[in-house]
Amino acid sequence: MITCTCGEPASVQWKRRPTLAEADQLSHGADPGDSYIPVYACADHALTPDAAVLMHQAVCSGPGKTAACDCTPEPLPEPDLEGDPSKPADPERPLPPGW
Ligand SMILES: [Zn+2]
Ligand SMILES: [Zn+2]
């Protein structure tokens, strides 16, 4: 069973960048810019859903019960202007020409 650092069962997962030492063990030819360490936490120690979708810094120690962490997460990549078919259409945005 995957648990939080406090020992409770983990219910939330997000990603952070590996430290230099971790990146050394991880890479094996993989693009280090793309590698990450999964972080698991219980509901008490979880990030907010908004923060949990972001990639956090290697130094991020995760949140406490205030649900805020102490790093500046990387912003999400710009959305594909053509639209991602795996995501529901944004109702605020008009359909592209041809629809
Ligand atoms: Zn916990
Ligand atoms: Zn963070």
| Residue range 30-76, pLDDT digits in tens | 665 678 999 999 988 888 888 899 999 999 978 766 667 889 999 88
**Which residues place a Cβ less than 5 A from the ion ligand 2?**
56, 60, 69, 71
| pTM: predicted TM-score of the whole model, two decimal places | 0.67
Write out the two tokens for 20. Answer: 């230099």
The residue among 79, 84, 37, 30 whose CA lies nearest residue 60 is 37
* pLDDT value, residue 91: 65
| Residue range 2-30, pLDDT digits in tens | 999 899 999 999 999 999 888 888 866 66
Please name which ligand lies nearest the alpha carbon of 47: 2
Please name which ligand lies nearest the alpha carbon of 54: 2
Q: Rounded to the nearest whole angstrom, what is the distance from the C-alpha of residue 31 to the centroid of ligand 1?
A: 31
Domains of the chain by residue range: 1-70
